[in-house]
Structure 1
């Protein structure tokens, strides 16, 4: 059973209800868009469809190189996996936060959602227009999985030789992590309705065909069936939801799902 919250207010133009959640949940809207001398950041639709436009830097490659350097690793595919999961986490967090607090989500159409590849962490996203949509699992899946993670995953898999199963594992892990953080905030603030709604929606989304084999959800704990490769970062170790109990040997074959 999916518990959908019924909230008595609509999305506000600034998505102000997300601000107390902080970090990965906040989603900028047009009035708060950063002023960039070179113009606004690209829409994600352009990143997915035309990642290296003539005369312009490739935003996705720029971001992955930036992440790879920050991790102090020489392996581009490790940086690509981490960058992929970070962007997935931002998308899921904004969608789940709005669903739980408003009972609706904004239209996350890649033509409306802009991404600053040169920002710090978490990824800086902002919407050029706020259009309310229902917050049922099918609509949320269409907005995040179909609209963003399917083209992003295809691009990262093709260009950086990261296994497709690993990338969908990133998507499942990012979803479970967003739900877990939202549940933690809701319980700390006495919003048991929000906590229940977030858990229910996340569980329904993890039953989507693209995510159903990515891991096992028990309450708010998630155990993925593959590894994001973070253990290959110097001093990285394994993540809390990793399929590995301890970092495998560097020469071991990577688990890709």
Structure 2
């Protein structure tokens, strides 16, 4: 199963950098740390928020929100695609999944020796792994640094789920139905329930298009504008 999971992660990693988890003992490189450290040691997260604040010329709340969304998308996108495309849930807990900070673009993720499980109810298994292992601790860690709304942060998680579903459907049409089903179940589960609404599909979306009920605050960045799924966006 280990070789299969490596193949699964390699395959979904081709979708975009946010779906990439490097595997194997030689792919780690210097400076890698387990994700658990990000949730328990305040310094790396503080540094990431400060970096985003400098790049965007923003305040702390905007920087914390945008930094959170980038990390959350990295954590959830690979297993979402693995479940939707291959019916396999990789075991990417906070002790085996590592990150390495990079200044430009998303951080690099690495799991030296991944395992996984074939799943029939992929959404339920995925929700349990993501919410408890990663997303709740990440929400708590960010809010310990900056007073940003929990509703905003979970709305950004929901937005990342919907964005991942859209990309999977566009690049892997044979998995579009499965991606829509898994994402829909996730959006109705736990802290994501009520974060937005599903509308008739537009553009590359398959099945439905998501509109969130909160805002990630990116509009407060100079020339930032509104995201397509923002509650403040009155188009459509």
Shorter-chain TM range is 0.7 to 0.9
**Structure exhibiting the larger radius of gyration computed from Cα positions:** 1
**CA offsets, 1:218-254, max 9 Å, x none?**
33411000100000111101100000027xxxxxxxx
TM-score by length of structure 1 reads: 0.81
- Rounded to whole Å, the distance in 2 between the matches of 1:134 and 1:159 is 37
Shift of the alpha carbon at 1:66? 1.2
Counterpart of 1:212?
A: 193
Per mean C-alpha deviation after superposition, the further-off stretch among 12-21 and 165-174 is 12-21
Give the count of matched residue pairs: 223
Q: Any conservation in 2 of the 1:113–1:125 contact (CA below 8 Å)?
A: yes
Aligned counterparts, 1:140-159, within 5 A: 140-159=126-145
Deviation at 1:204, TM superposition (A): 0.6
What residue in structure 2 maps to residue 255 of structure 1? none
CA deviation vs aligned residue, 1:156-176 (integer Å, no higher than 9, x gap): 122210011111111111111
Match of 1:62 among 37, 42, 47: 47
Q: Greater shift after overlay, 24-33 or 103-112?
A: 24-33
Is it true that 1:184 corresponds to 2:170 in the alignment?
A: yes
Ranges in structure 1 where 5+ consecutive residues have no aligned partner: 1-8, 53-57, 247-257
Name the residue aligned to 1:250: none
Q: Which residue of 1 aligns with 2:216?
A: 228
Superposed CA RMSD: 1.8
Give 1:13 deviation, angstroms: 5.6
1:97-176 pair list within 5 angstroms:
97-135=81-119, 136-176=122-162
Tell me the equivalent position of 2:204: none
Match of 1:78 in 2: 62
Report if the CA contact (8 A) 1:63-1:118 is conserved.
Answer: no
> Greater helix share, 1 or 2?
2
Superposition map of 1:39-58 within 5 A = 40-49=31-40, 51-52=41-42, 58=43
